[in-house]
Amino acid sequence: MGDNSQSRRRAAYPVEKSNQFETNLRVACALIENWRYIVIKTFQLMKKWMRVFYG
């Protein structure tokens, strides 16, 4: 009986691992989106300041 539960746990392990990977992937995508947004906003601000100083 104990052997059966052990094998079931081993069978469930890869599923948990793939779910963890999926979560990591989602977090990474969100970070990339935020990073892109920050970069774009920074460039817009820089352009604005360039116009103020040199325009």
Span 16-39, pLDDT tens digits: 777 889 999 999 999 999 999 999
- Amino acid at position 26, single letter: R
- Is the pLDDT at 7 greater than 60, yes or no? no
More confident residue, 39 or 14: 39
What predicted TM-score, i.e. pTM, was given to this entire model?
Answer: 0.46
Separation CA 13–CA 17 (nearest Å): 6
